[in-house]
Amino acid sequence: MNERTKNFLREKFKEYYLEYPIQLPPDFEHREWGFILFDALPKIVMRRHTSFHSRPEALEYLRSMAPAHAFSSVAYYEHPGAGTMADKNWLGADLIFDLDADHLPDAPGSYPAMLARVKSETMRLLDFLTDDFGFSEETMDIVFSGGRGYHVHVRDPMVRTLESAERREIVDYVSGAGLAIKPTSIASSISEIPKETRHGWSRKINRWIVGYLQALKDPETAVNKLQELDGIGAMKAKKLVDGGLLDSVSDANIGRIRNGEIKFLAGVPKSLWNRLILKAMQEVRASVDEPVTGDIKRLIRLPTSLHGGSSLRVVPLTLATIERFDPLTDAVVFSDREIAVTADKPAACDLRGSHFEIAEGVNTVPECVGVHLMCRGAVEYVKVL
Amino acid sequence: MAPAPDSRLATYPFTSGATAYVRELDIPLPDLLGRHAYDRARSRGMKRVIQAIEGRIERDYEIGTDLELLSYPIARMIVSCVGDNYLIRRYALAEAKAVYESLKAEPLDFLLVMGEEFGMRIESSDQGLSIHFADYVRYAHRMRDPGWKLVNRRLSGGVVRISEREFRRLLQEAISDRIRGGLPLDLPPDLDVCDALSAHIESVRDALGARKTEFEIAGAADPDAFPPCIAHAIAMLQEGVNLPHSARFAATSFLLNIGMGADEIVRMFSGSPDFDESRTRYQVEHITGREYTAPGCDTMKTYGNCIGADSLCARVSHPLNYYRLRKRGAGGGGGIDRPDG
């Protein structure tokens, strides 16, 4: 990133901070702030131990410095601006979840597919938070991170003083770590499955299994659907269907299956139940980045700021809006006005529903695409057209 | 004159009710420390601590509620004057265990009041007991049985179902925290509390010394005397090498056994470049909360953690004995004890 590009980006970010509504987190006066400025990039220099006493003071900083990245602490401190962590005097911290493509075991390669996958993980997490943990929507801030995922900030006072180890128990819960009902192997003996009437993981697993079984409508689709389970191929699937599986899991029997009973279905092999439980665990669990939740002094990206590595806005969402949210359109804040950029090598991106290919040399692109690629370090600024 | 106290206050001297009652008695601290009227409270306070060192605090029903109640702050002052991390842990644990025994006999209503004392949001209904998950994990995360893990509980709408027995166990943890909290006390500087209690403190020191020679090693930690296996594990941790749990456990329990506190141990491990304080602290405190003895040489060998054994190692069967001998022999060809039995 050359100086011209840095100056251009700083000006664009400045415009953003002047024009867009900026939200400060609750009780921002008691949080530590940290910023990474364009000046030192690509070196990452975090200016931390900053604090603000008023909203105008914070806005003035953002507008005059136009930082590439803006963070505030998840923690509340008595003296947030103190130069050492010990002097700050920790008072509590929001409960934070970070869902990021980098931490998914099987993230797809393309950026749009990756974002879609992380979104579905986020939906699972939100289900745990609202249903099992009983957090109301007012106490949660859900945001697109501006990068490769989502953040959830739980600001419920009930969880503020939880320590790291206690927060890790919550991570273990949403990720299903240490779940005692997990079968040790496909061949494990099993006399019942988790019941629908028991709250928590049991209910979630039971509901997933029942939903799956109810989707096994006719023999043909059933043979295909069964192959979604690990270790079941066409032969095994056909054998299960021919062996009367569909009759076993008919509506007449679903009530007892909800109750965890499976012994009466002598024709269904044990291994299928074990496979279903394992699959249900995979489909229910939410993969969150554990160290983030456990870190009670972490700095986290400011909602409504811009992400200097993508130029995307850190967009606040709700349980209702996240479903329809498309980051590659809805988090784009810059214009379609054309600018010239130059690239050392070809690059590509998807933005606002279009695909853009950049050739080596000078290219004309919409400003939003140019800014995005400059932030990613793929192109340098030439001029406004 | 103060009203006759509820004898329960003496069983639960750490509660706000007990504290308020003691405050109402309005006994000046110099009186409590010096007047004959409180002789029995002082010696009972000492006994509490000595019983804790020896294993189990027994209630004294003979001396009456007021004196029994007053012996609790005295015991805390004695523990604070001795100022030993091991003693603090052991004393808090013994007090909490004694309380747990008493709680076993208490009706549910009383337990609920006690839960309130600790700010636990707990409700009782026909369905049983349910507690807010934040109050649950605060204490349950330390329990080793997987049945306590939140992921294995019936959690819905933010509350966890628990049994009465489990509730008592959570209360024990909360009580242990409260008793340990604030220790060592900030004693008033203008009044020499420790001088006034010196005879009692001496007896406690003796008991502690006897216990330590039995199980532990007194004095400041001396890294030069660490056995090679432990020195190696610590060096690896400081370099940020991801050590197997068995080696981390060995190093941590060893350091605890030679009298280091959790903070000191976390600091010792903090040289590591990817040092994660909260994670390290969690691991150290997990081990600190229990009375573990460091693994012996056989166990170290079994897990492949016996590294760099030297000639002294051949004569001991426990890393703690190595340390004990080395420390004693520092500066010369120290005498070699027989291997521990």
Query: What pLDDT digit, counting tens, does each position of B284-296 carry?
Result: 777 766 667 889 8
In the predicted structure, residue B56 carries a pLDDT above the cut 90: no
Smallest CA–CA distance, residue B149 to chain A, in Å, is 7
In the predicted structure, residue B336 carries a pLDDT above the cut 50: no
Contact of B169 with chain A, judged by CB distance below 8 Å, is answered with: no
The label of the residue with tokens 């850190």 reads A314
In the predicted structure, residue A242 carries a pLDDT above the cut 50: yes
- Evaluate whether A382 touches A341 at the Cβ level (below 8 Å): yes
The label of the residue with tokens 């702030």 reads A33
Smallest CA–CA distance, residue B77 to chain A, in Å, is 27
Q: Does domain A3-176+288-329 bear CATH number 3.90.920.10?
A: yes
Same domain, B281 and B221: yes
- The residue that leads in pLDDT, A220 or B43, is B43
- Evaluate whether A341 touches A363 at the Cβ level (below 8 Å): yes
What tokens does A293 get? 């939740």
In the predicted structure, residue A264 carries a pLDDT above the cut 90: no
> pLDDT value at position A356?
95
Residue B338 lies in a domain: no
In the predicted structure, residue B1 carries a pLDDT above the cut 70: no
Ordered DSSP codes for A73-125: ESEEESSTT-SSHHHH-EEEE-EEEEEEGGG-TT--SSHHHHHHHHHHHHHHH
Residue B333 lies in a domain: no
- Evaluate whether A252 touches A91 at the Cβ level (below 8 Å): no
In the predicted structure, residue A136 carries a pLDDT above the cut 80: yes
C-alpha A214/C-alpha A208 separation (Å) is 10
- Which residues does residue A261 pair with via DSSP β-bridges, in sequence order? A192
Same domain, B190 and B246: no
Task: Name, in order, each residue with C-beta under 8 angstroms of A210's C-beta and a sequence gap of 6 or more.
Answer: A196, A254, A257, A258
Question: B61-70: b or e for each residue (b if 16 or more CB lie within 10 Å)?
Answer: eebebbbbbb
- Evaluate whether B225 touches B323 at the Cβ level (below 8 Å): yes
**Nearest C-alpha in B relative to A197:** B154
State how many domains chain B has: 3
Same domain, B221 and B323: yes
Same domain, B204 and B64: yes
- Going from N- to C-terminal start, the domains of chain A cover 3-176+288-329, 183-284, 338-384
What tokens does B199 get? 């005879």
pLDDT in tens, B321-331: 999 888 877 54
Backbone dihedral angles phi then psi of residue A306, each to the nearest 5 degrees: -105, 145
* A178/B278 CB distance under 8 A: no
In the predicted structure, residue B21 carries a pLDDT above the cut 50: yes
Same domain, B232 and B318: yes
Same domain, B308 and B221: yes
Residue B2 lies in a domain: no
Smallest CA–CA distance, residue A318 to chain B, in Å, is 19
Same domain, B277 and B252: yes
What number is the average pLDDT over the span A177-200? 86
C-alpha A270/C-alpha A219 separation (Å) is 20
Domain coverage including residue B173: 104-179
> pLDDT value at position A265?
84
Task: Write the burial class of residue A238 (CB in 10 Å: 0-12 exposed, 13-18 middle, 19+ buried).
Answer: middle
Residues of B in contact with A199 (CB under 8 A): 154-156, 161
pLDDT in tens, A312-355: 999 999 999 998 999 999 999 999 999 999 999 999 999 999 99
Same domain, B239 and B317: yes
Contact of B123 with chain A, judged by CB distance below 8 Å, is answered with: no
> pLDDT value at position B332?
38
Same domain, B59 and B157: no
Q: A299-301 and A347-351: which strand pairing?
A: unpaired
Determine the 3-state secondary structure of B94 from DSSP. helix
Element (H, E) at A35: strand A33-36
In the predicted structure, residue B340 carries a pLDDT above the cut 50: no
- Which residues does residue A151 pair with via DSSP β-bridges, in sequence order? A98, A143
Q: What is the pTM of this model?
A: 0.78
- Evaluate whether A360 touches A380 at the Cβ level (below 8 Å): no
CA atoms in the 13 A half-sphere facing the CB of B279:
14
Residue B111 lies in a domain: yes
> pLDDT value at position A230?
87
